[in-house]
Amino acid sequence: MKKLLLLSSLSLVAMSNALAGIIVVEGKYQDKNLYVQNGYAGNGVGFCTYEVTINGKTSTDEVNSSAFEIDFPAFAIRPGTPVVVEIRHKDDCSPKVLNPEALKPKATFEVININIDNKGILNWSTKNEMGSLPYVVEQFRWNKWIPIGEVKGGGSMESNTYSFQTTSHSGENKFRVKQIGYGDIPKSSSSVTFTSATGQPTFALNKNATAIDFSAETMYEVFDAYGNVIKRGFGNKLDIANLSKGSYYLCYDNIMTDFKKK
């Protein structure tokens, strides 16, 4: 008889678990609460959600209503803290988290210091990162900011330090770092400058007009007559054998010029 009662109890627990669902929302606390649209259970008795946990601890938020708020400060959770929210609900209904993006990282960094040394190494330190987002290192060339590399963000609210080896062009160089957060919203640092003593390279088309030779290695871009980038790279030789005859715009080093392929 005891064995039968035990089996019955286990069956009821298994059935109870089968009749429940869990919605999991993960991320980092971005100083915003989550809002849940709840509604009634499918059978019309009681509300859909019956329990909410934050990092394994049961929330004391009132879930017996058609909508409720998941209050992170009530758990003394600081901005930037990883959180796992589990919303347990009955199987015949499903609550809806209205703003799950609230836990997705945004570009919130503040630069403590940014500088570049005489070897072209860009150094920067930050605070208030509420998520690990990559830093895009950009260089100002040809009247626009160009991405030249990427460094993984630490995501700490305290202090983060980074460095990146840049490649300079002749004359004054300008650099900055940028993060792009949720919703493709960017945030950039202030820029720093570095003056290179390297001489300005020259270029020349070879005899058969199949390549452009530079007098030193350089970053380059080639545009067609409509302003489309058709070639991009770095080196001391640019292959143009597959280009049709016509006029093109050439950007290299810190120079914008043009050439004709005959």
**Total number of domains constituting the chain:** 3
Residues 139 and 114 in one domain: yes
Residue pLDDT, tens place only, 41-66: 888 788 999 999 999 999 988 899 99
Can you tell me the mean pLDDT for 101-106? 92
Instruction: Please tell me whether residue 43 adopts helix, strand or coil conformation.
Output: coil
Positive or negative torsion for Cα 82, 88, 94, 98: negative
CATH number at residue 146: 2.60.40.10
Q: Are 234 and 220 in contact (CB under 8 A)?
A: yes
Report how many helices (DSSP H) and strands (DSSP E) the chain contains, helices first. 1, 20
Which residue, 196, 217, 246, sits at the end of a domain? 196
Report the distance separating Cα 66 and Cα 84, nearest Å.
23
Q: What is the pTM of this model?
A: 0.77
The average pLDDT across 212-227 equals: 95
